[in-house]
Structure 1
Amino acid sequence: MPCLNLTTNVNLDAVDTSAIRSEAISAVAKHTGLPESYIMTSLKGSVPMTFGGTEQPTAFGELVSVGGLNPDVNEKISAAISTILETKLNVPKSRFFLKFHDTEGSNFGWNGSTF
């Protein structure tokens, strides 16, 4: 079950964060082949962050999944999420990192157990 965590230094007070999370869920579902109902997202804003020594808009993301990730899928998800952040939050693609974790089911808890 993929979980996408996004953190940015952009203030989200006037931003439709539901739309961003919804688009991100759709992108992860599309490229992993998993149902949207399996995907979790979080989006944190106004986090003190720098990239390259400046506080210009930047973001960091982590996607953890039990399967469904591979180099081709990761590249497509990275492109999709960076486009979302660029269009919705004005975070340039060059100022966004996305880390992928493909983990074993025994390392991912859900419903009081593990996968």
Structure 2
Amino acid sequence: MPTFNVQTNVPLDDCVLVSDILKQTSKAVANIIGKPESYVMISLRGGVPMLFGGSEDPTAYGELISIGGLGPEINEQLSAALAEILQTKLSVPPARFYIKFYDVKMTDFGWNGATF
């Protein structure tokens, strides 16, 4: 259910261990939201042309969608944890990363040929 889609202008080349980023992000989302990691999906797109504040320095934008489990305190924890991962792994400063949170109804999320 929890799905985190993130795009960045940082190229995902051989220097970046994409698998590590995906696994670390998946664990963080599952732990903070309190849902099984078996339901978490992470998508990472690198090398996306992006401009933030008039600069092409490393930046990122993410959207986290979940059926429940989100709210002011949880969103703040997620924002801090995800920004830390992006800063550590991709050199994206926390001040150059936006994240949008979506708490959706069960009927708005499809899986296995049906909705939840």
Q: TM-score range by the shorter chain?
A: over 0.9
1:55 aligned counterpart, secondary structure: coil
Paired with 2:101 and 2:74, the residues of 1 have a C-alpha distance of 10
Query: What are the residue-to-residue correspondences of 1:32-47 with 2, within 5 Å?
Result: 32-47=33-48
How many residue pairs were aligned?
115
Question: Partner residue of 1:58?
Answer: 59
Instruction: Give the C-alpha shift of residue 35 in structure 1.
Output: 0.8
Structure 2 segments unaligned to the other structure (5+ residues): none
Paired with 1:77 and 1:19, the residues of 2 have a C-alpha distance of 18
Question: Partner residue of 1:13?
Answer: 13
**TM-score, normalised with respect to structure 1:** 0.98
| 1:11 counterpart letter in structure 2 | P
Structure 1 segments unaligned to the other structure (5+ residues): none
Query: What are the residue-to-residue correspondences of 1:79-94 with 2, within 5 Å?
Result: 79-94=80-95
**TM-score, normalised with respect to structure 2:** 0.98
The ranges of structure 1 where at least 4 consecutive aligned residues each deviate by more than 6 angstroms after the TM superposition are: none
